[in-house]
Structure 1
Amino acid sequence: MSDAWKHQLRLYLDSDDAEIAREHPDSERLAPLNDILTKHRATLSNQLQAFEDYVAEAEKTGVESFPLYKWTRMTIEDPEKRAKHLKAFAIQLSGEIVYDKAAADALEADLAPLVGKGLVTRLSRHDTNPANNIRPPADLV
Structure 2
Amino acid sequence: MSNQWQYQLRIYLADELAEVARRDSATPALGPLPGVLEKHGATMKCQLDAFADYVADAEAHGIEGYPLYAWTKATIEDPVKRAKHLQSFALHIKGEAVYPKQEADALEADLQPVVDGISILRISRHDTNPANNLQVPERFREPKPN
Normalised-by-shorter TM-score class: over 0.9
Question: What is the rounded CA distance, in whole Å, between the counterparts of 2:102 and 2:10 in structure 1?
Answer: 16
Counterpart residue number, 1:110: 110
**Correspondence list, 1:1-141, <5 A:** 2-141=2-141
Q: Deviations over 1:103-140 (max 9, x none)?
A: 00000011112223533101000000000000011220
Unmatched 5+ stretches in structure 1: none
Name the aligned partner's letter for residue 56 of structure 1: A
Shift of 1:3: 2.2
Shift of 1:61: 0.9
Question: What is the rounded CA distance, in whole Å, between the counterparts of 1:81 and 1:107 in structure 2?
Answer: 27
Q: Deviations over 1:27-81 (max 9, x none)?
A: 1111310010010010001100000010111111111110001100110000000
Question: What is the rounded CA distance, in whole Å, between the counterparts of 1:35 and 1:116 in structure 2?
Answer: 16
Moved over 2 A (4+): 116-119
Q: TM-score, normalised by structure 1?
A: 0.95
Shift of 1:20: 1.1
- What percentage of residue pairs aligned between the two structures are identical? 55
Name the aligned partner's letter for residue 125 of structure 1: R
Q: TM-score, normalised by structure 2?
A: 0.92
Question: What is the rounded CA distance, in whole Å, between the counterparts of 2:5 and 2:13 in structure 1?
Answer: 26
May I ask how many residue pairs the two structures share in their alignment?
141
Question: Aligned Cα RMSD in Å?
Answer: 1.2
Unmatched 5+ stretches in structure 2: 142-146
